[in-house]
Amino acid sequence: MSPSSKKSGRGSASNPKNRFDALEYIAEPEDGAEEAPHPRTQFIRDDSQSLITYNKSPDVGFDASFNVYRGCEHGCAYCFARPSHEYLGMSAGLDFETRILVKERAPELLRQELSKKSWKPQVLAMSGVTDCYQPVERIRQLTRRCLAVLAEFRNPVVIITKNHLVTRDIDLLAELARFNAVSVTLSVTTLDGELAKKLEPRASSPTRRLAAIRELSAAGIPVRVLMAPVIPGLTDHEMPALLQACAKAGAQDAGCVPLRLPWAVAPLFEDWLQRHAPGAKEKVLGRIREMRGGKLYDSRWGVRMTGEGFYAEQIQALFKVAHLRAGFPGKGPPLSTASFRRSSDQLELFT
């Protein structure tokens, strides 16, 4: 596939060495240039033969998920999924946001897996790793086509995104909502538009995300909000106002997850702080270490999503009070598989 046209804004400024590789390629600036040219986004065909994956982590709120894209052009500086690109022989830095793998057969693979008699109807999560509504979705429409399959089978799905583009699919989401088979979570990290441009350069602005909450809620689609990550010393103070704004927009409930910086994400985020918030760098990193046992990351189950110590407890206490004051109505009943149907089940009605 050919590269896309160049767009401004990247979360990473470099391609750090893949931790699995012995050699490292470092691009040299062209003659007369002060730095290497910024790469354009490339879309690479992903010929995966299956789609749905399963996890056993007690920290994750779903057992089964699928991603139609690997890598994410949103380019969020803090993205915990960046190291997943290292398993593909690429870098967690610029490669992650400029070399996007596209599962063109995702709708067909999803149909095949849901059609199997062995498929046990259950909630599926979209964007468990990378955002299913990142910019390329406007053209490829793989997420929309997968939603059409899910609506046909009435299989419940949870969507996590930070892009207003989700509102394009209100028709399919509303159809799933008729059977209590969908929930959309909007990730809202900050209300500061200027900070968002630097932190999440190609995601929708905070204003657009609030608009998405309003539009989805007005269409009868259950919406919740996730303030993730909460960056101590940078965005944590926004929590009361952010939750208030999201509740006012129509979100039913909210959650929060403190920043986590696995593997290559830690040095990438340190570099981002140095470039965009140097005055807050030591404060932010110091508080992260306070929450992570003196390190920038603690991978232990039961701890990695919450942290420990004074600042972790402070974030949870702030969230509890802010959540209560925001007046969220509550997340409602759990999603249901009661209306699930296969194509063969529908054909049997006519025999």
Query: Is residue 101 situated within a structural domain?
Result: yes
pLDDT for residue 29: 61
Q: 29 has which bridge partners?
A: none
- Give the residue numbers spanning the domain of 261: 42-328
Checking if the pLDDT of 348 tops 80, the result is: no
The 10 Å Cβ neighbour count of residue 4 is 16
* Number of other residues whose CB lies within 10 A of the CB of residue 31: 5
In this prediction, residues 34-57 reach a mean pLDDT of 86
Q: Predicted confidence band at 61 (pLDDT cuts at 50, 70, 90)?
A: confident
Q: Residue 67 falls within a domain, yes or no?
A: yes
pLDDT at 18 over 80: yes
Cis peptide before 229 (omega within 30 of 0): yes
| pLDDT grade for 344, boundaries at 50, 70 and 90 | low
Would 347 be classed as within a structural domain?
A: no
Is 114 a domain residue?
Answer: yes
What pLDDT does residue 143 have? 98
Could you give phi then psi for residue 282, rounded to 5 degrees? -65, -35
Residue 205 counted as domain residue? yes
Condensed to tens digits (0 to 9), the pLDDT of residues 229-278 reads 999 999 999 999 999 999 999 999 999 999 999 999 999 999 999 999 99
Give tens-digit pLDDT for 140-170. 999 999 999 999 999 999 999 999 999 999 9
pLDDT value at residue 206: 98
- The answer to whether residue 33 is domain-embedded is no
Average pLDDT value for residue range 128-134:
94
Examine residue 11 and state whether it is found in any structural domain, yes or no.
Answer: no
How many structural domains does the chain have? 1
32, part of any domain: no
Q: Which amino acid, one-letter code, is at 185? A: T
Predicted local confidence at residue 35, as pLDDT = 54
CATH number, domain with residue 64: 3.80.30.30
Cα distances from 272 to residues 8, 88, 264, in angstroms, run 16, 24, 13
Query: pLDDT tens digits for 203-238?
Result: 999 999 999 999 999 999 999 999 999 999 999 999
